[in-house]
């Protein structure tokens, strides 16, 4: 699967390396260059190019839309790092750590503006529709981020609220990435909608899988501390489902464990409770439900089945990862 993505990833990297930014003021534009050079899989812009190729053979026609998605995503990451006070991103210093928070805020803001500028290279209906989608998605991502921060001060969060939060914070940008490519490819309204819903449902499934992997992946594969969400009392689907399904005695034990200061004891105790309540199986079932819905959306897109195979394989690849 990775090899079939490489043509899109290489095209995106080349376009980013050729993207012209002013030299001055250096403290505004150097951080942007630095952050974009940190790399990443570029999955969102890849999805834009792949969805466009469903309707038009020349995927580079959607490159401006793909780059707008990538610049917006990086804007959100720079700002997230400030809010989370994160020292590292992909193993390197975050922008606010390397420079300072004020510079990071402004550099992120410029990335957002650059995303808008890229979309203005389109004309007519395509311009109007991509801007409307971009604007709606940007607002929803901010809504989701605020919900996530609000959850930190709450003892319990309804599962439906959690699913709404991850839909807004994470999944709508995946949906936007796919619909952008379809719009530029002049797909029908129904195909644009199905691609968007495919992305949203896939994005929710992906985040649920991330919640599962944080607890159950092998540490050398996952690339971060196993049980980190448990240690930090992060409200994930697993924790919220456990709080919802536990009887009073189990709930009391779980609340006591959330106050535990020894990380090893805490992770071990919470995992034991998860086992009692079959939380891994329940979370996996919910993830698979969203994945199945996404596959249904993909099936309903009115293009030849062989054209959809790359997206189908990518969805399966993402949902079968071990890290």
- Dump pLDDT digits (tens) for 221-238: 444 557 889 999 999 999
Residues 291-303: tens digit of each pLDDT: 999 999 999 999 9
Mean pLDDT computed over 307-312: 95
Percent of the chain whose pLDDT exceeds 90:
89
Residues 179-191, mean pLDDT to the nearest whole number = 98
217 confidence band (pLDDT: 50, 70, 90): confident
262: left (phi over 0), alpha (psi -120 to 50) or beta: beta
Q: How many CA atoms lie within 13 A of 214 on its CB side?
A: 22
Alpha-carbon gap, residue 188 to 183, rounded angstroms: 8
Taking the C-alpha atoms of residue 217 and residue 321, their distance in angstroms, rounded to an integer, is: 10
- Which stretches of the chain are DSSP H helices? 2-17, 26-36, 43-53, 63-84, 95-98, 101-119, 124-151, 159-166, 172-184, 189-216, 219-222, 228-231, 237-245, 248-258, 263-276, 279-299, 305-318
Could you tell me if 47 and 313 are in contact, meaning their C-beta atoms sit under 8 angstroms apart?
no
- In angstroms, the CA 259 to CA 249 distance is 16
Give the pLDDT score at 39. Answer: 85
* Mean pLDDT for the chain overall: 94
Q: Which residue has the tokens 């034990």?
A: 253
Domain range 188-323, CATH architecture: Orthogonal Bundle (1.10)
Give CA–CA dist 272/277, Å, rounded.
9
- Average of pLDDT values for 196-203? 98
pTM: 0.94
At 223 the pLDDT is 44
Q: What is the pLDDT of residues 248-276, one digit of tens each?
A: 999 999 999 999 999 999 999 999 999 99
Within 13 A of 47's CA, how many CA atoms are on the CB side?
29
pLDDT at 318: 83
Distance of alpha carbon 109 from alpha carbon 319, whole angstroms: 32
Give tens-digit pLDDT for 109-123: 999 999 999 999 999
User: Which residues belong to CATH 1.10.600.10 in the chain?
Assistant: 1-163, 188-323
CATH number of 1-163, picked from 3.40.1260.10, 3.90.25.10, 3.10.310.10, 1.10.600.10? 1.10.600.10
Q: Cα separation of 244 and 221, whole Å?
A: 30
């Amino acid at each position: 699967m990775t090899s079939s993505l490489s043509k899109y990833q290489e095209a995106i990297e080349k376009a980013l390396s050729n993207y012209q930014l002013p030299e001055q003021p250096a403290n505004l534009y150097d951080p942007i260059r630095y952050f974009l050079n940190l790399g990443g899989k570029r999955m969102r812009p890849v999805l834009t190019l792949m969805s466009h190729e469903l309707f038009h053979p020349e995927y580079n026609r959607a490159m401006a839309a793909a780059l707008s998605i990538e610049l917006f995503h990086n804007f959100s990451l720079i700002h997230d790092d400030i809010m989370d006070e994160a020292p590292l991103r992909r193993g390197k210093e975050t922008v606010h750590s390397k420079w300072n928070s004020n510079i990071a805020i402004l550099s992120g803001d410029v990335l957002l503006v650059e995303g808008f500028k890229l979309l203005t290279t389109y004309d007519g209906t395509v311009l109007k529709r991509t801007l409307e989608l971009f604007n709606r998605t940007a607002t929803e991502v901010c809504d989701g981020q605020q919900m996530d921060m609000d959850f930190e001060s709450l003892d319990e969060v309804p599962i439906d609220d959690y699913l709404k939060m991850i839909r807004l914070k994470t999944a709508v940008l995946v949906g936007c990435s796919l619909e952008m490519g379809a719009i530029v490819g002049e797909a029908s309204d129904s195909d644009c909608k199905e691609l968007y819903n495919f992305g949203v449902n896939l994005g929710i499934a992906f985040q649920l899988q991330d919640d599962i992997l944080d607890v159950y992946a092998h540490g050398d594969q996952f690339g971060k501390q196993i049980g980190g969400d448990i240690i930090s009392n992060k409200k994930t689907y697993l924790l919220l489902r456990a709080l919802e399904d536990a009887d009073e005695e189990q709930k009391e034990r779980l609340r006591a464990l959330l106050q535990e200061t020894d990380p090893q004891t805490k992770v071990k105790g919470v995992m034991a409770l998860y086992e009692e309540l079959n939380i891994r199986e329940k979370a996996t079932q919910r993830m698979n439900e969203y994945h199945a819905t996404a596959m249904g959306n993909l099936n309903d897109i009115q293009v030849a089945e062989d054209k959809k195979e790359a997206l189908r394989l990518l969805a399966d690849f993402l949902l079968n990862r071990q890290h």
